[in-house]
Chain A
Amino acid sequence: MSDMAIWTEKLVKTYPDVRAVDGLNLNVPRGVVYGFLGRNGAGKSSTIRILLGLARPTEGHGTVLGFPIGREQVAILERTAYVSESKTLYGNLTPRELVRFTRGFYPTWSDQAVRKYSQLLEIPMDRHFSKLSQGNRTKVCLLLALSQGADLLILDEPATGLDPVVLDEFLRILVQDVVSDGKTVFISSHQLSDVEQIADWVGLIDHGRLLLEARLDDIKSEFRWVTAAGDDPTQTSFPQAMLVASEGNFHKYLVKSGAEAFAAQLSRQGATIAEISPMSLREIFLALVRKEDPCTPGNVGATVAVASLPIS
């Protein structure tokens, strides 16, 4: 577990009226970009707050960069940079003063990075934070995170308010300066296209537990839409396939792995395979979190295991 950037076991967090995190087993390898996806209220923020020591887990435990959560929280915080969803910093300070405030906490801080990134991201360094636009506020938060010299970056919605040019520049910086150095990036975002572009791994959380955690490449290699024409829509022995739509004779299946074999089985049953097509991350996300199979109500999606290459 200590070779993982983030590892949790059976993490639970309950609030008076809801079980926000419900037995979460995260495995985030070091040196990757991990996209943490989920609907609002799925437990993403609660999980992140536990990792950072802002909230205490009801049950379960975990480590961040090898240090146990809670017990050695300060050691974790020394090596972790965080950009929160709210992006709220001290309104009465300017970005320059915020840098001054923050830099003293980190021996790994780089002033050179501050100069470089404040220019690249076009940040007005001497305007009071309360007077900055949303996009500029985000940029300041990113600047602080990038200059910290952290081993792990936890970014919660890092694109808020960024125009496409700045966002593109930020992604470039992330790839060139952070990921290339073997640091780990943990991104929680609704911008699935950005995550799809930059992530190596994806973890999909729903109702407090992981539905899916695997390399993005493997997910994309395995998930397929299969459209077929035939008169018998019910397939019997293929648990990884799910009927999602029917129109007359045509049926559309979501297949989580083994699409070829499934198509072959349908062929044997007399169906005509129209197409086996790949799925985008957005389609996979929607298919998994919309659990109900519209044809047979109550068919709740099971946790998917996608075999990934062993971490070398």
Chain B
Amino acid sequence: MLLHVNPASGVPTYLQIETQVKHYIAAGALTPGDALPSVRQLASDLRISTNTVARAYQDLERDGILRTIPGGRTYVGENPGSFLKAERVRRLRPYARQIAVEGTQLRLDPREIMQLVQQELEALEEEHERYGNLDRKAR
């Protein structure tokens, strides 16, 4: 798994890692059961503090996205079906608000904003299929 972080961006490094991991999972590049690099290995590769990577992994684990075997490696977890739907909705709401706020400030009307979201969902679907095909070819 190749991650990239930009320490000079205003986004905290641990968030960048979390976002990228989530993206890979959403796009199907990482599937449940895949192993992630160890904290030490990833930190060393990225030349960032192990604490930063540890925090990212911990957050993702808390959200049910990753799963760590005690004393062992970290794996992509099964789909977070363990969370109630209401909880999942609650987690997404801040992002929805952000889109609403940003979109409004950019003077886009609600229809255009919804269209954008739709487009992104479709693109993600495409990526998922593409990775799925690669996987099948590999096997």
Contacts and interface: CB of A to CB of B under 8 A. Distances in A.
Quick check: do A and B touch in the complex, using CB within 8 A? yes
Given A220-B10, A220-B11, A279-B10, A200 B51 contact: yes
Interface stretch (A73-81, A106-114, A123-131, A170-178): A170-178
A175 B11 contact: no
A37 to B, nearest CB: 14
Contacts of A172: 44, 47
Contacts of B55: 217
B57 to A, nearest CB: 14
Contact of B9 (A32, A175, A199, A280): A280
Contact of A280 (B8, B50, B51): B8
A168 B12 contact: no
A198 B51 contact: no
A200 B52 contact: yes
Given A175-B44, A217-B55, A273-B105, A180 B10 contact: no
Interface string B95-108: 00000000001000
A217 B48 CA distance: 12
Given A172-B44, A180-B40, A31 B51 contact: yes
A282 B39 CA distance: 27
Contact of B47 (A197, A273, A281): A197
A63 to B, nearest CB: 22
Given A197-B7, A200-B52, A220 B47 contact: no
Interface string A197-229: 111100000000000000011101101100000
Contacts of A221: 12, 15
B12 A175 contact: no
A280 B12 CA distance: 10
Interface residues of A, number: 30
A180 B12 contact: no
B29 interface: no
A199 B7 CA distance: 10
Contacts of B49: 32-33, 175, 179, 198-200
Interface in A143-180: 168, 171-172, 175-176, 179-180
Nearest to B41: A176
Q: Which interface residue of A172, A179, A193 has the most chain B CB atoms within 10 A?
A: A179
A221 B8 CA distance: 13
Nearest to A312: B58
Contact of B10 (A32, A171, A277): A277
A216 B12 contact: yes
A196 interface: yes
Nearest to A170: B47
Contacts of A199: 49
Given A33-B49, A279-B10, 19 more contacts: A171-B47, A175-B44, A175-B48, A179-B51, A180-B39, A180-B44, A196-B7, A196-B8, A197-B7, A199-B49, A217-B12, A217-B13, A217-B52, A217-B55, A220-B11, A221-B12, A277-B10, A278-B10, A278-B11
Interface of A: 31-33, 168, 171-172, 175-176, 179-180, 193, 196-200, 216-218, 220-221, 223-224, 273, 277-282
26 contacts: A31-B51, A33-B51, A171-B47, A172-B44, A172-B47, A175-B47, A179-B49, A179-B50, A180-B40, A180-B44, A193-B7, A196-B8, A197-B7, A198-B49, A199-B49, A216-B12, A217-B15, A217-B52, A220-B10, A220-B11, A220-B12, A273-B105, A278-B10, A278-B11, A280-B9, A280-B10
